[in-house]
Amino acid sequence: MSILLMAPALLLLLAVFLWPIVHYAWLSLQAQSVFTGLKPVPVGLANWERLLGDGRFWQDAVQTLRFALVSVGLELLLGLAIALLLHQSWRGRGLVRSLTLLPWALPTTVMALGWRWILNDPNGPINGFLELLGLPSLPFLASTQLAWLAVVLADTWKTTPFVALLLLAGMQMIPADLYEAFALEGGRPMQGLLRITLPLLRPYIFIALVFRLAQALGVFDLVTVLTGGGPASSTESLALYAYLNAMRFLDFGYSATLMLGTFVLLLAAALALVLAQRWRRASA
Partner 1 sequence: MSSQPCHRSGSRLRISLVILLLLWSLAPMLWQLYSSLRTPESLLAGLAGLGGGWTLINYTAVLQANPPFWRYLLNSSVVGALSTLLTLALAIPCAYSLSRRGGLLKVVVGGGLLAAAVFPYVLLFLALLQVARQLGLANNLLALCLPYAGLSLPLAVLLLQAAFADMPVELEENAILERFTLWQRLRWILLPLMAPSVVSTGLLVFLFSWNEFPIALTWLSRSELQTLAPAMARIAGSSVFTVPFGPFAAATVLGSLPLLALLLIFQRQIVAGLTQGAIKG
What residues from 9 to 68 belong to the interface with partner 1 (CB under 8 A)? 9-10, 12-13, 15-17, 19-20, 23-24, 27
Burial class (CB in 10 A: 0-12, 13-18, 19+), 158: buried
Q: Name every residue whose Cβ is closer than 8 Å to that of residue 151 and which is 6 or more positions away in sequence.
A: 67, 219, 222, 223, 226, 227, 235
The least distance separating partner 1 from the CB of residue 172, rounded to whole angstroms, comes to 8
Question: Do residues 99 and 247 touch, judged by C-beta distance below 8 A?
Answer: no
* Bond preceding residue 122 cis, omega within 30 of 0: yes
CA atoms of 281 and 165, how far apart (whole Å): 25
Stretch touching partner 1 by CB under 8 A, among 43-51, 69-77, 213-221, 276-284: 213-221
Q: Which one of 43, 46, 48, 103 is in contact with partner 1 (CB under 8 A)?
A: 103
Stretch touching partner 1 by CB under 8 A, among 41-49, 52-60, 90-98, 142-150: 90-98
Q: Which one of 159, 217, 236, 244 is in contact with partner 1 (CB under 8 A)?
A: 217
Stretch touching partner 1 by CB under 8 A, among 46-54, 140-148, 178-186, 276-284: 178-186
Pick out residues in 193-212 that bind partner 1 (CB under 8 A): 204, 207, 210-211
* Bond preceding residue 125 cis, omega within 30 of 0: no
Pick out residues in 241-280 that bind partner 1 (CB under 8 A): 242-243, 246-247, 252, 255-256, 259, 262-263, 266
102 lies in the site for partner 1, by CB under 8 A: yes
Question: Do residues 113 and 222 touch, judged by C-beta distance below 8 A?
Answer: no
DSSP result, 19-83 = HHHHHHHHHTTEE-SGGGTT--EE-TTHHHHHHHT-HHHHHHHHHHHHHHHHHHHHHHHHHHHHH
79 lies in the site for partner 1, by CB under 8 A: no
Stretch touching partner 1 by CB under 8 A, among 47-55, 139-147, 164-172, 271-279: 164-172
Q: Which one of 45, 62, 180, 274 is in contact with partner 1 (CB under 8 A)?
A: 180
Q: Which one of 215, 233, 269, 277 is in contact with partner 1 (CB under 8 A)?
A: 215
